[in-house]
Amino acid sequence: MEARILFQSRMKIRGFRSEVWLPLAPAELFDFFSDAGNLNVLTPPWLHLSVVTPMPVEMKPGAQIDYRMRVHGLPIRWRTRITLWDPPHRFDDEQIIGPYRRWLHTHTFEKYDGGTNVCDLISYAVPVDFLTHRLFVRPEIEKIFGFRSSELTKRFLRRK
């Protein structure tokens, strides 16, 4: 146990933040995000995401969702668990199985300027950080969340 704690303490924890303003109420957007079936809309096609968990997923603390995807052609299994559920303001999911040493994704929905500021805050760590983070991981996260913001804007700004 002591070795594991020491190993974890040496992890380089990274952060990433993405925000987009949308002209809907927090509750409407929360409902969209809390439907695991919408992950396919928010995930770039080049990742070939497939939600394995049977739908619908009852979202609540402890709910788990299994996915399959391909990253740079490599098959990846990913399992997340909902660790915090506070409709319509916030929910957190954390990786249980997947490519990261740590992945905590906080989704917040804050009423702002007649709409909602949707914020994704990620805390993550990757294996062999000094080799993989700058060259592969960070650019990929930026592309994924750039796609996500673009899709949200297309989907919800045209409804205004």
**What is the per-residue pLDDT across 73-91, written as a single tens digit (0 to 9) for each?**
889 999 999 999 999 999 9
Q: Say what the pLDDT of residue 11 is.
A: 84
Mean predicted confidence (pLDDT) in 24-38: 94
**Residue 32: band (very low, low, confident or very high) from pLDDT cuts 50, 70, 90:** very high
| Separation in Å, CA 23 to CA 2, 104, 117 | 49, 27, 9
SS3 state of residue 99:
coil
Q: Compute the distance between CA of residue 119 and CA of residue 78 in angstroms, rounded to an integer.
A: 22
14 pLDDT higher than 60 = yes
Q: Which residue has the tokens 């990786």?
A: 95
Class in CATH terms, 16-157: alpha beta
Q: Is the pLDDT of residue 158 over 80?
A: no
